[in-house]
Structure 1
Amino acid sequence: MKLIEFKNTNAQRIYTDYINRSKRVTKILSNEDQEDCLMELNSYIYEYIQNHQNEDETTALLNIIERLGSPEITLKEVVAAKKIDQAVRTFNLKHLIQALFLNLRNGLVYIVLFILTIMLASFPILIVLELLHPIETGLFIGKRKFFFGIANPNAGFYEVLGNTFIPVVILLGVAFYFLIIFLLKLVKNKKS
């Protein structure tokens, strides 16, 4: 992205500060997505300055920055949406967690997806616990209750999966992961 050069040093400082703040907000995105966001902002600023050349540079710059708003607020939804796109494209768990975290305030579906992702992240822990403590880890069933994970087998519960616990957890993990990605795609398509 080519930065705009201003004649007025104060305008240049204000512009540089705004672009640097925008860079910090978009830092979580891929380089390509960061560049897209910054180029979009830069083009708005450039066009406004070009259309208001009769005004003082600093005044014109402050006017467009005021219209655009604080990058910490303005870019929040853009970054969250681009992070969802990245998670859906890459199938990367790190990007998935970041996307869901950034979108928690955008509705109940994201909260549910975040909880599913936390459950997904607990599956490897359950596998390790099954290997270390096989008697206390599994799917336990008792009177009108069941526990998936860790339970005291002497408390009136019995474990039903036995040696198939680890394959079941792996299959559940894969199913949860693709369910989360599928739901994210649905939500993304519904917003579009």
Structure 2
Amino acid sequence: MKRTILSKRALLLSLVSGFVLFVALSLFFTQINSIQDGSELPVEPAAASSDREQGVVGLPVRITIPAINVDADIISVGKTSNGEMDVPEGPAEVAWYSPGPLPGEQGSAVMTGHYDWYNNVPAVFDDLNKVKKGDKIVIEDENEITSTFVVRTTRIYGKDDNATDVFISSGGTAHLNLITCTGTWNSAEKTFSDRLVVFADKE
């Protein structure tokens, strides 16, 4: 693959675009946090399960979604100083919310990635809106063990909607929820109008 050298102007625009999308996705998690009456984001009790203590479920390191040709590294993120979920800095990585469950543990593991990007380089979740019920998401952990999740449904949230169900689940099973931006770009607020969430269940 050819490596393209960006001009100073293109590089600047790329950095600006990346920052703007970073802000756009961050705003969604700010809203989730504010819904909790000023408290921090909820964390599933399963985040401290015996599976994690015994090392049965390893840290996630790679995600593949064959239906949309996603094959990306996973990084771990926590909370910002305001108690909100952090987001990945670059377009190619997927971020796992480490205070919550590991993928494969009981509860809802949450991951996020950017949508759109600049200079014709699509972000990792640029095609997330194309996944359908029944599509598979494969997570590889640090021990090279894979867990497969099957898409149950997708849902669009407004950026100001209550989305706490993304982080909290019921039923005692393992889930994986993926988040990215979607909708119309609001240049004044520097954010997209909506957030797309893909809900998947462990196979």
TM-score with structure 2 length normalisation? 0.20
Give the helix-richer structure, 1 or 2. Answer: 1
With a CA cutoff of 8 Å and minimum separation of 6, indicate the structure with the bigger relative contact order. Answer: 2
Give the strand-richer structure, 1 or 2. Answer: 2
TM-score with structure 1 length normalisation? 0.21
